[in-house]
């Protein structure tokens, strides 16, 4: 075996030893991973080093970059499929749907709140004009808050409780 490692052999024979085609060996020589004038043992060491680098992700060949891109795409497809499954089983909802629901609920709440001063005036005739004005002011502040609510303002602290 030592005799074989010390010899220079053909690209085809080396390809047979490591289990790849002669074209693959040609490509490795073009990429200067293997040097044309080296022995079988030197090619074997260089080839093994190259394969360790490929396996560990240290090799930056275009094919490896493409493989990483494919892996990233596969990951994104898996994430999208999980999200779609979660939406289909009603575990989550799209932000646009949540915004539409909250907008509709907010609109209903505003209409209810805006009717409060008239209801108070009609059902509690003894309430003063100043008290009604205070109620209207607080309701207007609440309606303005509801109207201005969006995802960016959800974490803000309430300043006028």
pLDDT tens digits along 4-14: 899 999 999 99
**pLDDT greater than 90 at residue 94:** no
Q: Give the pLDDT confidence score for residue 3 in this predicted structure.
A: 87
C-alpha dihedral over 97, 101, 107, 112, to 10 degrees? 180
DSSP output for 66-132? HHHHHHHHHHHHHHHHHHHHHHHTTSS--HHHHHHHHHHHHHHHHHHHHHHHHHHHHH-TT--HHHH
Q: Say what the pLDDT of residue 132 is.
A: 94
Tokens of 136: 């209207």
Q: Is 100 a residue whose pLDDT tops 90?
A: no
The mean pLDDT of the chain is 88
Domain segments of the chain as ranges: 2-59, 61-92, 95-153
The 10s digit of each residue's pLDDT in 27-53 is 999 999 999 999 999 999 999 999 988
- Whether pLDDT at 64 is above 70: no
């Amino acid at each position: 075996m030592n005799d074989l490692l010390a010899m220079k052999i053909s690209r085809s024979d080396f390809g047979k030893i490591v289990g790849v085609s002669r074209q693959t060996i040609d490509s490795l020589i073009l990429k200067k991973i293997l040097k044309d004038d080296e022995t079988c043992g030197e090619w074997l060491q260089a080839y093994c080093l190259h394969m360790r680098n490929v396996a560990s992700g240290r090799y930056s060949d275009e094919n490896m970059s493409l493989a990483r891109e494919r892996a990233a795409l596969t990951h994104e497809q898996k994430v999208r499929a999980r999200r779609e499954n979660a939406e289909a089983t009603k575990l989550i909802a799209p932000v646009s749907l949540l915004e539409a629901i909250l907008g509709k609920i907010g609109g209903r709440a505003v209409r209810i709140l805006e009717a409060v001063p008239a209801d108070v005036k009609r059902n509690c005739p003894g309430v003063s004009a100043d008290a009604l004005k205070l109620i209207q002011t607080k309701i207007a502040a609440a309606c303005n808050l509801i109207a201005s609510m969006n995802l960016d303002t959800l974490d803000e602290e309430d300043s006028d409780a």
